[in-house]
Amino acid sequence: MKKNKYALITGGGGLLGIEHAFALSEVGYKIILIDKNQKKLKTAKKKFYNKIKSHCLILNCDISKEDEVLNCRDILKKKKIFVNTLVNNADHNPKMMSLKSFNNLKNYSVQMLQEQLDVGVIGTFNCIKIFGHEMEKKGGGIIINVSSDLGINAPDQRVYSKDEKIQNVKNFKPIGYSISKHAIIGITKYIATYWAHKNIRCNTLVPGAVINNQHKNLVDNVKKRIPLNRWAKKNEYRKGLQFLASEDNSYMTGQSIIIDGGRSAW
């Protein structure tokens, strides 16, 4: 690993953002976290220091707005920081089993869909376009997009009912999440082939459900659909991310690593 290699992680204030930071720090990367939530960013920075005993750089940024991503790029340029690895982790994942969730497709508005796509698709595009262009000028880089097991399968909506009967589901997983997570894999394949000749590799990490104080009924229903009979711990994707970010992994591009406890095998 070369000195002063930097990884930029979007959605850095989220549940997995800090885990991705821990993972890449372990293999020698200096870390940049960006998020539009300044409070969560500061919390993530504190967690990072407490564990790694080193500082990470945080930047407040709404990745759905191109001008804000460009501003991040300019700030990093002034600091003479080149992003060697970009991790597109940010997305809008609605909380389920909640009255605030939308309850059916009929009342899912275009505005709700747009809010989902603005982060997961437009935000990913903005970051790839801007930081990928810098990689192109510098002779290469690594782009890792984070999808979901719901980016390769449809959500089994029955898990959102205590009795697992579809007719009793009150709050469905929104279609925007599926569109966004499926789109991520398509973006990966496009970028992998578009920039392969520029020594830019692009792959996807496909994680399964992560345990994080979800409703007991939901946890139990999902467990039944996972061969390992449990949800993932938040730190169980570190090795997968490290593999995708490794210079030793030089012949893999346009692919997806699925880590879902075997759920997609059924």
Q: What is the pLDDT of residues 133-155, one digit of tens each?
A: 999 999 999 999 999 999 999 99
Reported as a single tens digit per residue, the pLDDT across 158-193 is: 999 999 999 999 889 999 999 999 999 999 999 999
The pLDDT confidence band at residue 92, using thresholds 50, 70 and 90, is confident
Reported as a single tens digit per residue, the pLDDT across 159-168 is: 999 999 999 9
DSSP alpha helices (H): ranges in the chain? 17-26, 38-52, 66-78, 110-117, 124-138, 175-194, 216-223, 238-244
Domain extent at residue 142: 5-265
User: How many folded domains does the chain comprise?
Assistant: 1
What mean pLDDT is reported for the chain? 95
**How many percent of the chain have pLDDT more than 70?**
95
Q: How far apart are CA 123 and CA 101, in angstroms?
A: 22
Determine contact, residues 103/168, Cβ cutoff 8 Å: no
Which CATH number does the domain housing residue 207 bear? 3.40.50.720
Query: What is the average per-residue pLDDT within 50-60?
Result: 97
User: 188: which residues sit within 8 A by CB, 6+ positions away?
Assistant: 143, 145, 202, 203, 204, 254, 255, 256
* pLDDT over 90 (residue 198): yes
* pLDDT over 70 (residue 99): no
Determine contact, residues 130/143, Cβ cutoff 8 Å: no
Q: Quick one: pLDDT at residue 21?
A: 98
The pLDDT confidence band at residue 2, using thresholds 50, 70 and 90, is low
SS3 242: helix
Report CA-CA distances (Å) from 112 to 62, 89, 174, 176. 17, 20, 9, 8
Q: Quick one: pLDDT at residue 248?
A: 94
Query: What is the average per-residue pLDDT within 215-242?
Result: 97
User: 258: which residues sit within 8 A by CB, 6+ positions away?
Assistant: 149, 152, 206, 264
HSE value, Cβ hemisphere, 13 Å, CA-based, for 85: 30
